[in-house]
Structure 1
Amino acid sequence: MRSDVEYSPVGEGLGMREFWLYVWLRRAAVIAAHVIGLGLTLTISLLSRPGTSLFSWHPLFMSVAYCLCMTEGILLLSAEGSPFCFKSRKGKVRLHWFCQALVLMAAATGLGFMVASKNVSELPHLVTWHSLLGISTLATTGLQSACGVCMIFPKLLHLSSSAPRLKLYHATCGLVVYLLGTVTMMSAMFSDWFQATVKGLTWWAFLLLPLFPALVVMNQITNAYLPRKKITR
């Protein structure tokens, strides 16, 4: 007969050997996401050759914002493979807000250089899919940051939602922002500048690599905040 309904934690029902294999695979995935985020940032920074033009600063600051700072800001909250695993939860949260503040500053700077470059070259704004996705990503990033401020000062802002519900909203919106940023970054691979710089199999590697950190972030957020699978006995 069916009895009380319980929630099963991730990995429940696995044997000891399978459980530890699962744990280490998750840790390896998080570490790989850290490496890919940093590697993409460094590679794009080298390819853009900062200082050669106004536009050259745009890929640099945008990669720092979304490949590095946003990825690290989310992954440092993970229990598996985070370089800040020795920090307290409060310390992790503070580092998270610091990283998100860097995202805003770097993204705003990158946008400024792009606008300046377009104005100097007398080129129209917002005429490509990449530019439209980019401005949407920046707008949602700003809204998400406002959501974060609401979480810090819920009583001051007289918010009626409970803390767990606010955390769920914040995490869900954060996932949307990160996935939108990933799509925007992938669309940049189709730009004339990038296709003239990177060709062949290397181009395909650049196109597909951002998907891995996105999958790790999605898995982390869904496991942490979405209702766990129900089981019956």
Structure 2
Amino acid sequence: MPSDVEYSPVGEGLGMRDYWLYVWLRRAAVIAAHVTGLGLTLIISLLSRPGTSLFSWHPVCMSVAYCLCMTEGILLFSAEGSPFCFKSRKCKVRLHWFCQALVLIAAVTGLGFMLASKNVSELPHLVTWHSWLGISTLVATVLQAACGICLIFPKLLRLSSPLRLKLYHATCGLLVYLLATVTVVSAMFSDWFQATVKGMAWWGFLLLPLFPALVVMNQITNAYLPRKKITS
């Protein structure tokens, strides 16, 4: 069975004027996603006041991992609005590895600060939906990274269908990113965040992580959504 998959081209069936409008809207959306991810990370870091407690480093590390590094690691493959749009595919892949490595380092560090904070305060672990979602996200991130490592060495691992594995890697990456987004949103229902941010500002924070998620979902589905599978 051949492993080739034909992908639906972006903007197929659009007129020239509609196509350029579509491209510019996508470009604006990608730029806004970059700004949103960076802005959310900076604001959460400021609200956390890192250094005031062990726990204060947890939101900083996790926002750097998932709001910034994971978002940038995916959006750098976008053809519109990415600061790395002029780089070669090989360079983008290497930057993607680097960003995802930072995701793992920052996420594990953030988990360590949370565990240390809980132990010092003698509080129980894994008692909230956010904690369970966080652990699930971290496990999924590690598994996704392992899949990415397999794509780095397809010949060494004797993979029979690296193109199909690449498709699965992108699809699972989208699921991991959406799970991370749900985890970030659930953090905004925590006692710490609700005590720090109140009123209309809280609703604004609640919606912010959803925008980059929509842009990432649109990017991956446009790039990897199969139009027709060639089967024997």
Counterpart contact for 2:76–2:84, Cα < 8 Å: yes
Corresponding letter in the other structure for 1:107:
A
Unpaired runs of 5+ residues, structure 2, are: 1-5
User: CA offsets per residue over residues 91-142 of structure 1, 9 Å max, x none?
Assistant: 0110000000000000000000000000000000000000000000000000
**Are 2:171 and 1:172 aligned?**
yes
Q: TM-score, normalised by structure 2?
A: 0.94
User: CA offsets per residue over residues 50-95 of structure 1, 9 Å max, x none?
Assistant: 0000000000000000000000000001111000111111101100
Residue 228 of structure 1 aligns to a residue whose secondary structure is strand
Question: What number of residue pairs does the alignment pair up?
Answer: 224
Q: TM-score, normalised by structure 1?
A: 0.93
Corresponding letter in the other structure for 1:200:
G
Change (3 A) 1:151 1:83: same
Unpaired runs of 5+ residues, structure 1, are: 1-5
CA distance in 1: counterparts of 2:223 and 2:88, whole angstroms:
17
1:155, distance to aligned residue in structure 2 (A):
1.8
CA distance in 1: counterparts of 2:132 and 2:64, whole angstroms:
20
Counterpart in 2 of 1:77?
A: 77
Percentage identity across paired residues of the two chains: 88
CA distance in 2: counterparts of 1:150 and 1:208, whole angstroms:
35
Counterpart in 2 of 1:188?
A: 187
Residue 201 of structure 2 aligns to a residue whose secondary structure is helix
Residues 1-233 of structure 1 mapped to structure 2, 5 A cutoff? 9-160=9-160, 162-228=161-227
CA distance in 1: counterparts of 2:125 and 2:26, whole angstroms:
42
**Greater RCO, 1 or 2 (C-alpha within 8 Å, sep 6+):** 2
Corresponding letter in the other structure for 1:96:
H
Counterpart contact for 2:8–2:222, Cα < 8 Å: no
Residue 226 of structure 2 aligns to a residue whose secondary structure is coil
1:229, distance to aligned residue in structure 2 (A):
7.8
Superposed CA RMSD: 1.4
CA distance in 1: counterparts of 2:72 and 2:9, whole angstroms:
25
**Post-superposition, which runs of at least 4 consecutive aligned residues in structure 1 deviate over 6 A?**
none
1:9, distance to aligned residue in structure 2 (A):
2.3
CA distance in 1: counterparts of 2:105 and 2:7, whole angstroms:
41
Counterpart contact for 1:9–1:228, Cα < 8 Å: no
CA distance in 2: counterparts of 1:7 and 1:174, whole angstroms:
18
Corresponding letter in the other structure for 2:207:
L
